[in-house]
Amino acid sequence: MQRSWRYALFFALPVAVAAATLGTSFLVLHRAGEDIDPLQAAAMQQNADIAYGSALFYRPRPYKIERARLTKADTILLGSSRAMQFIETPWKSATYNAGGAMRDLESGEIFINSLFEKHHPKRVIISLDWWWFSATRRPDAPSDASEKTPLTLHELTQPAVWLWDGTLSGHELTTLLFAPATLKPAIGMAARFKHAGWDPFGHYDYGDQLTEQAGGPDVGFDETLKDIQRTSKRNDRAPRNAFSEESWHRLEALVKQIQDAGAEVVLLLPPVSGPIYDWIAAQPEPNLVKEVQRRLPTLPALTFDFHDPRTIGSDPCEFVDGIHGGEVTYLRVLDAMAADPSTDLDALVDRPLMARLIAENAGHASVKRDDPTRQPEADFNSLGCHK
């Protein structure tokens, strides 16, 4: 009998330790809001000014579709992650930033079809990526893996991994476990502790990623340059790729669908950083980017070409990485569009306010915030920026 108890204890102790560890992990993730799915997060933001930034899941499409449906905005800003830096501040009319929901033409069709089931905006401003028209482009998944956020064994082990690699500090862990009420309201680990995530407007805040010297995502823009220079057939961002007529026709059809629904369409080619622009411009024909630029004015809608950042006065220090302009860059983009008499944007935005924000934050990727918990922006990509 005594031997049996020893055997039972031998097996029971590890099980009990594992259960306690996983239970603690679940509590940490639950209190951080990591078990809140994208649709729940969208609904919560309808009534509260809180950020949504999960450290476990990236589900932009269902989240952005639901937010766009709930906001019933007159203007929808649509595009990939390159459109997520439009901020709410200058808008005087109901607008929603659905940047991140359109990672290619297929996902753009899904977004528009889903949105139009419940709401028809007055205008849709679409930010285009040149690689959508690459013959090597693989269609995005028809839907995100899941609208839910199940906490499987893999997810339950992540708090331990974060503690090990320093992503989660001991102080943050104990706060979640014993004093969660002292934390600023937010959904997700990144939003709670890294100031990173989507706000109710749909703008994405890169948070602490921009406050660490040489701690950015694209130091020297080397990663972006390597990406577009790669010779792999799967690299759809390379300018040498063949142009896809089929994809262009899909864009034309999408524009017509939106217009037939009674909405105005504005299309823009967003800027890349100066060094990346120079490298792409130096590449010989056939050049995918140049082909997209040539065709842009032929579309049956108002179009803008901001591929060259110098046309709007944006320098490399205002970029998050080689192809993602920051908030100041996109204030410049919006101001340039509003200045065009062909649009009605001048009446929809506060241009004097934009001019002031641009002047006060020139040379920065983000607009300064009145938040004592945040560090000032640093030269995160080691470009020699004075910030």
- Top-ranked range on mean pLDDT: pick from 45-59, 116-130, 210-224, 235-249: 116-130
What average pLDDT does this structure show over 154-182?
88
Same domain, 50 and 172: yes
Give the burial string for 14-33 (b: 16+ CB within 10 Å, else e): eeeeeeeebebbbebbebbb
In-domain check, residue 201: no
Whole-number Cα distances in Å, 191 to 34, 71, 168, 186, 210: 10, 21, 13, 6, 14
Same domain, 307 and 242: yes
In this prediction, residue 160 carries a pLDDT of: 87
What's the order of all strands across the beta sheet hosting 123-127?
A: 95-99, 75-79, 123-127, 264-269, 302-305
- For 136-158, what is each residue's pLDDT tens digit? 887 665 554 456 667 888 888 88
Q: Would you call the peptide bond into 185 cis, given omega within 30 degrees of 0 as the criterion?
A: no
What average pLDDT does this structure show over 272-277?
98
What average pLDDT does this structure show over 360-377?
94
In this prediction, residue 217 carries a pLDDT of: 79
- Residue 101: which CATH number? 3.40.50.1110
Same domain, 332 and 361: yes
Last residue of a domain, one of 163, 194, 225: 194
Residue 257 has pLDDT above 50, yes or no: yes
Q: For residue 270, give its domain range.
A: 60-144+206-387
In this prediction, residue 215 carries a pLDDT of: 76
At 4, the pLDDT band (50, 70, 90 cuts) reads: low
Same domain, 171 and 71: no
Residue 365 has pLDDT above 50, yes or no: yes
In-domain check, residue 51: yes
Same domain, 26 and 118: no
Across 7-16, 197-206, 296-305, least confident range: 7-16
- The single-letter DSSP state of residue 313 is T
At 11, the pLDDT band (50, 70, 90 cuts) reads: low
Q: What percent of the chain has pLDDT over 90?
A: 73
Does 166 or 297 have the greater pLDDT score? 297
What average pLDDT does this structure show over 208-212?
92
Same domain, 8 and 126: no
What average pLDDT does this structure show over 340-369?
96
Residue 44 has pLDDT above 90, yes or no: yes
Same domain, 220 and 184: no
Mean pLDDT of the chain: 91
In-domain check, residue 200: no
Same domain, 137 and 24: no
In this prediction, residue 5 carries a pLDDT of: 57
At 8, the pLDDT band (50, 70, 90 cuts) reads: low
In this prediction, residue 1 carries a pLDDT of: 57
What is the value of pTM for the model shown? Answer: 0.92
Contact 97, 83 (CB under 8 A): yes
Same domain, 311 and 210: yes
Across 208-217, 253-262, 346-355, least confident range: 208-217
Same domain, 271 and 385: yes
Q: Where in the chain does DSSP place strands (E)? A: 75-79, 95-99, 123-127, 197-198, 204-205, 264-269, 302-305
In-domain check, residue 199: no
In-domain check, residue 104: yes
In this prediction, residue 145 carries a pLDDT of: 45
| Total number of domains in the chain | 2
Same domain, 167 and 237: no
Contact 28, 173 (CB under 8 A): yes
- Top-ranked range on mean pLDDT: pick from 43-47, 183-187, 213-217: 43-47
Q: Of how many residues is the chain composed?
A: 387
Same domain, 106 and 165: no
In-domain check, residue 258: yes
Residue 7 has pLDDT above 60, yes or no: no
In this prediction, residue 153 carries a pLDDT of: 81
At 129, the pLDDT band (50, 70, 90 cuts) reads: very high
What average pLDDT does this structure show over 298-325?
97
What average pLDDT does this structure show over 216-222?
89
In this prediction, residue 155 carries a pLDDT of: 87
What average pLDDT does this structure show over 289-300?
97
